[in-house]
Amino acid sequence: MSDLPNTSAEFREFFHTMRDQIHDKIRSRMEKLGGKVCLRMYHDNYLTDICYTFYETDDDGFGRAMFLDTVEITPEGDIDISLRDSEDCYNPVWCLEDMTVTDALYVLEELEAVSTFHEAHPDKAVFTDYDPDFDRENY
């Protein structure tokens, strides 16, 4: 058990290493999925079971609950994460580099769920954009 962190500095390094590993896994998963995934299509059509909630607080102290919409590798090589609130009136874009370890882990879990779906349904295309008129029966 001596490999476990004992001090705040050791925990900080442990989390930094874990964060880097999660980011690498997200990038790898995104590349396998084609570089852009509209997670909202999987949520709205019940194609995956995971839909995490992300939180943001404004300058006045008001919080907002949000959900993943689209994850995309940008031309510059960054990973941008578009979110949406439950009322579809606020759509921030977060950079993966700015996310907490926990939030990045949640992104990875959702991408893994999409990968699992496509492993079971290899004939289905990966959703890259939101389609409000999507017909699940003919997918």
Q: How far apart are CA 16 and CA 20, in angstroms?
A: 6
Q: Taking a C-beta distance cutoff of 8 angstroms, is the pair 96, 81 a contact?
A: yes
The answer as to whether 43 is a domain residue is yes
136 lies in some domain: no
Q: What is the pLDDT of residue 137?
A: 87
Nearest alpha carbon to residue 30 among 68, 85, 66, 86: 68
Q: Is the pLDDT of residue 1 over 60?
A: no
Looking at residues 20-41, what average pLDDT do you find?
Answer: 98
66-101 tens-digit pLDDT: 999 999 999 999 999 999 998 888 999 999 999 999
The verdict on residue 1 lying in a domain is: no
Average pLDDT, whole number, for the chain?
A: 95
Residue 133 lies in a domain: no
Q: How many structural domains comprise the chain?
A: 1
Q: Look at residue 3 and tell me if it is in a domain.
A: no
Lowest mean pLDDT among 59-63, 111-115, 117-121: 59-63
Is residue 63 in a domain? yes
139 within some domain:
no
Whether 135 maps to a domain, the answer reads no
pLDDT for the residue 3: 79
The length of the chain in residues reads 139
Give the range of the structural domain holding residue 75, as residue numbers without chain letter. 8-127
Q: Do the strands 63-73 and 79-85 form a parallel or antiparallel pair, or are they unpaired? A: antiparallel
pLDDT band for position 134 (cuts 50, 70, 90): very high
Q: For residue range 105-117, what is the model confidence (pLDDT) as tens digits?
A: 999 999 999 999 9
